[in-house]
Amino acid sequence: MSKKHDREDPEIGNNALFQAQADRVYAELLARVGESNPRPRLEPTRRAAELLGDPQRSYPIIHVTGTNGKTTTSRIAESILRAHGLRTGLLTSPHLVRMNERIVIDGEPIGNEALVANWDDIQPYLRMVDGELDAAGELPLTFFEALTVLAFACFADAPVDVVVLEVGMGGEWDSTNVADGQVAVFTPIALDHMHRLGSTVAEIATTKAGIIKPLANVVSARQTPDALAAIERAVDLTESTLAVEGDGFALESTTAAVGGQVITVRGLAGRYPDLFLPLFGDHQAVNASVAIAAVESFLGNASQALDQDVLAEGLATATSPGRLQILGIEPTVLIDAAHNPHGAQALAAAIRTYFTFAELTVVLGVLEDKDARGIVDALAPLADRIHVTQSHSDRAIPVAALASIVLDATRGDRTYNFDSLDEAIARAREWADEAPGRGVLVTGSITLIGEAIELATEQGWKR
């Protein structure tokens, strides 16, 4: 890949011409098979990468999978690596507002100029693979397959010293798996995407364990016995090394603090006391401990302690938009991308521990392939009111159908239906303004959270 692309101001949208071109890139990606319908295959992505000269081999990789916490763990690990002076690449998905968020170079979403230049560079190769697939009677490269190739190219063009690579779905046949991670990271594994990954935790974990490559360092959060057994089998087959939370490393303590929490972590190679983490929730402290162990594995093969001050800087500057984020004050509006029961349970626990609302309205919208009843059961005990709504996604559960699920699980006198998220949030904020100690929580799907962020920006909520 050429290194000719000039770097630009990292602020997205600073140039109208390149903004229009970036919108074109997204439109061309959307014209492909959507990422909600991934193909269980690697060869097309591998073929496209091969034609490009295998850009994913030009930098080492930390590969991250799991059910919940993948994005936050990836972002924390990237922040720690950057604090150590490394130029980083980060691929996460999905985005909240803009596609540029998915491809991060040295801590900033990729600029439009670099995004467009790399997309245009790889077009001949994508078309070549599309033609080969068509001749073989197969579907062309999907949205996520093409995006993965684009990210690989962008990272090589930057260039970067290390990439933190978040799996899109599963692991074994996810298009990111054409890359070889020196470190494989597992966040907690639970039931989700069962129609794609399997109906049991063991099946899902087996698919996710497919990211483990020969002689890798493997770092895992605490898992259920079935999930851990699947990871251990893959570790044995690849002659890799496994460190599991609670044994190889551990979160020793966490204390709520203004703007986040203070944690102490026993890592793989050192103990790190009194670190400030600007994220809410015990589950985020666990994500941080996994990220620390992953970076220890990468930088010193799990045998050299990280510098306390550098680690503290990396954690203190870590962000995870859309994850228990305060979107507005006066009244307080929180957003969280919990979209399965496991995530909703972690969210509920964090609300109880880190916030002291007298009353709370939950604004809820869920996608149709998710366990809506499980999400409702986790969140309903927190809610004094539930505003049922939906995002603009064509996969959103219609308001009436979601309201029926909510009503089946809760009292009907606190459930209110709104056809638009704008109205659902507006009424919730008005209600919260009427009495002290009231708050608003928007949750249930990533698409809903993205739309809430756009509303807050457009309407100028106080933050």
**Of 260, 289, 304, nearest to 84 (Cα)?**
304
Q: Which residue has the higher pLDDT, 60 or 198?
A: 60
Under the banding of pLDDT at 50, 70 and 90, the label for residue 16 is confident
Q: What is the pLDDT of residues 186-207, one digit of tens each?
A: 999 987 665 666 779 999 999 9
Q: What is the pLDDT of residues 361-419, one digit of tens each?
A: 999 999 998 999 999 999 999 999 999 999 999 899 999 999 999 999 987 789 999 99
401 vs 296: CA distance, rounded Å: 47
Token pair, residue 281, equals 């929730």
Residue at 33: amino acid letter: V
61 vs 49: CA distance, rounded Å: 16
> Following CA atoms 3, 165, 119, 36 in sequence, which dihedral angle do they give, to the nearest 10 degrees?
180
Q: Are 175 and 94 spatial neighbours (Cβ–Cβ below 8 Å)?
A: no
CA angle 325, 330, 336 (to 5 degrees): 20
> 48-53: long-range contacts (C-beta < 8 A, 24 or more apart)?
48/122, 48/125, 48/126, 48/129, 48/141, 48/145, 48/146, 48/149, 49/149, 49/152, 49/178, 51/125, 51/128, 51/129, 52/1, 52/122, 52/125, 52/149, 52/152, 52/153, 53/1
Q: Which domains does the chain have, with CATH numbers?
A: 16-316 (3.40.1190.10), 325-457 (3.90.190.20)
445: pLDDT strictly greater than 90: yes
**Of 369, 374, 290, 281, nearest to 66 (Cα)?**
290
314 vs 253: CA distance, rounded Å: 19
- If phi > 0 it is left, if psi is from -120 to 50 it is alpha, else beta; for residue 283 that is alpha
Q: How many CB atoms lie within 10 A of CB 263?
A: 26
Specify the pLDDT at position 14: 52
Q: Which residues contact 145 (CB under 8 A, 6 or more apart)?
A: 32, 39, 44, 45, 48, 175
**Of 363, 433, 358, nearest to 391 (Cα)?**
363
Residue 348 in 3-state DSSP? helix
1 vs 9: CA distance, rounded Å: 22
Q: What is the pLDDT of residues 268-309, one digit of tens each?
A: 999 999 999 999 999 999 999 999 999 999 999 999 999 999
Q: What is the pLDDT of residues 215-237, one digit of tens each?
A: 999 999 999 999 999 999 999 99
Q: What is the pLDDT of residues 134-172, one digit of tens each?
A: 999 999 999 999 999 999 999 999 999 999 999 998 899
Residue at 42: amino acid letter: L
350 vs 353: CA distance, rounded Å: 5
Q: Which residues contact 82 (CB under 8 A, 6 or more apart)?
A: 88, 106, 107, 314
The proportion of the chain whose per-residue pLDDT surpasses 90, expressed as a percent, equals: 88
Specify the pLDDT at position 11: 46
Q: Are 167 and 211 spatial neighbours (Cβ–Cβ below 8 Å)?
A: yes
**Of 236, 259, 235, nearest to 354 (Cα)?**
259
397 vs 367: CA distance, rounded Å: 5
281 vs 289: CA distance, rounded Å: 13
**Of 158, 196, 221, 160, nearest to 36 (Cα)?**
196
Residue at 94: amino acid letter: P
10: pLDDT strictly greater than 50: no
Instruction: Supply the pTM of this predicted model.
Output: 0.92
Specify the pLDDT at position 190: 87
Q: How many CB atoms lie within 10 A of CB 407?
A: 15
Residue at 325: amino acid letter: Q
Q: How many CB atoms lie within 10 A of CB 246?
A: 13
24: pLDDT strictly greater than 80: yes
Q: Are 91 and 163 spatial neighbours (Cβ–Cβ below 8 Å)?
A: yes
